[in-house]
């Protein structure tokens, strides 16, 4: 299970994506997410998938590891795609009793599956190529203008950093609890759904107790250090956009411009 938790895992390297400023990666990732969901052209969606492949190649992160982030979300993706397959109107392809599948439903379900897969894989790149400290610093500086409205920017960035940092730790704790329960004779592989759900109750309680204990210890550590957010704090490493960042911004502006052009000048999905 720990192998499937990719959020918060950073792979050090010297690739093009590793050397980009975290603010650049955060903004471009958000734009990529928007482009994936607003793409109405088959050519535009294919172009974005090719772009994702180029980014994976530039990151020097194995594609198998990138798409491992999709594995825990496969049931949700499949369920969402199936809803569209059975409930979207169109020319019927299969009809039996209350089950009705249309060609438009199949097409929309498939494109939705592709969209969600590309979305999760693209988002996993930013955590693989950006350390949590850099990610928090980039988010803090991007949201810095909100400080004028008394928005807790520093607290938000620290909370995000701590959350991402402890996800792999909680996954490891879950593995240890499962192994301990199996050693006590817990049957977690039962085919009976009721028994399987009932067997997981002794796992959920220790996991929550462990998470609350870690949160309590972390809260005490923060209070003992008199943490006051960003008041009077300075930065050891100040983020500055480099020439590579400007080149990446220009490249992505051109790429997303082409994606918009494909949406405007080529046939749409619907």
Q: Does residue 38 surpass a pLDDT of 70?
A: yes
Q: Bridge-partner residues for 210, per DSSP?
A: none
Q: Is residue 82 part of a domain?
A: yes
pLDDT at residue 270 in the model: 47
**120 & 164 share domain:** no
75-130 pLDDT, tens digit per residue, is 778 887 777 777 777 677 776 776 777 777 777 778 888 888 888 888 888 888 88
**232 & 246 share domain:** no
**84 & 120 share domain:** yes
**40 & 77 share domain:** yes
Residue 58 domain boundaries: 1-130+240-270
**82 & 188 share domain:** no
Q: Is residue 3 part of a domain?
A: yes
Q: Is residue 139 part of a domain?
A: no
Q: Is residue 136 part of a domain?
A: no
**254 & 173 share domain:** no
**258 & 159 share domain:** no
Q: Is residue 70 part of a domain?
A: yes
* 233-240: long-range pairs with CB below 8 Å, 24+: 233/154, 235/137, 237/137, 239/21, 239/22, 239/23, 239/137, 239/138, 239/141, 240/21
Percent of residues, the chain, with pLDDT higher than 70: 85
Judge whether 95 and 101 are in contact, CB under 8 Å. yes
How much is the mean pLDDT over the chain?
Answer: 80
**115 & 75 share domain:** yes
154-193 pLDDT, tens digit per residue, is 777 777 777 777 777 787 888 888 888 778 777 666 656 6
pLDDT at residue 230 in the model: 62
**126 & 48 share domain:** yes
CA distance 138 to 23: 5
**181 & 119 share domain:** no
Q: Bridge-partner residues for 102, per DSSP?
A: 92
Q: Is residue 144 part of a domain?
A: no
Q: What is the mean pLDDT of residues 27-41?
A: 87
CA distance 205 to 199: 12
Confidence band (pLDDT; 50, 70, 90) for 209? Answer: confident
Confidence band (pLDDT; 50, 70, 90) for 232? Answer: low
Q: Is residue 63 part of a domain?
A: yes
Q: Looking at per-residue confidence, does 2 or 259 come out higher?
A: 259
**227 & 252 share domain:** no
Residue 192, helix vs strand vs coil: coil
pLDDT at residue 27 in the model: 92
pLDDT at residue 156 in the model: 79
Q: What is the mean pLDDT of residues 70-79?
A: 79
**5 & 110 share domain:** yes
Q: What is the mean pLDDT of residues 12-17?
A: 88
Confidence band (pLDDT; 50, 70, 90) for 229? Answer: low
84-95 pLDDT, tens digit per residue, is 777 777 677 776
Q: Is residue 138 part of a domain?
A: no
Confidence band (pLDDT; 50, 70, 90) for 222? Answer: confident
How many structural domains is the chain composed of? 2
């Amino acid at each position: 299970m720990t192998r499937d938790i990719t959020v918060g895992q950073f792979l050090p390297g010297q690739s093009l994506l590793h050397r980009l400023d975290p603010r650049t990666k955060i903004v471009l990732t958000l734009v990529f997410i928007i482009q994936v969901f607003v793409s109405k052209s088959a050519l535009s969606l294919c172009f974005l998938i090719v772009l994702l492949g180029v980014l994976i190649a530039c990151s020097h992160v194995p594609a198998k590891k990138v798409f491992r982030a999709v594995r825990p979300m496969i049931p949700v993706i499949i369920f969402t795609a199936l809803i569209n397959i059975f409930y979207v109107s169109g020319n019927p392809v299969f009809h039996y009793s209350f089950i009705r599948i249309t060609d438009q439903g199949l097409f929309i379900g498939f494109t939705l599956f592709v969209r969600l897969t590309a979305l999760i894989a693209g988002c996993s790149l930013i955590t693989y190529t950006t350390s949590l400290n850099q990610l928090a610093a980039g988010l803090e500086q991007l949201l810095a203008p909100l400080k004028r409205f008394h928005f807790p920017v520093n607290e938000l960035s620290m909370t995000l950093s701590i959350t991402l940092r402890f996800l792999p730790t909680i996954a490891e704790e879950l593995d240890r609890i499962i192994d301990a329960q199996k050693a006590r004779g817990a049957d977690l592989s039962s085919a009976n759904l009721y028994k399987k759900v009932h067997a997981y109750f002794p796992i959920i309680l220790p996991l929550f107790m462990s998470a609350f204990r870690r949160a309590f210890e972390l809260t005490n550590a923060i209070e003992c250090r008199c943490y006051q957010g960003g008041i009077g704090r300075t930065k050891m490493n100040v983020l500055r956009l480099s020439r590579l960042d400007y080149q990446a911004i220009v490249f992505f502006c051109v790429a997303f411009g082409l994606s918009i052009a494909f949406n405007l000048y080529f046939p749409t999905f619907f």
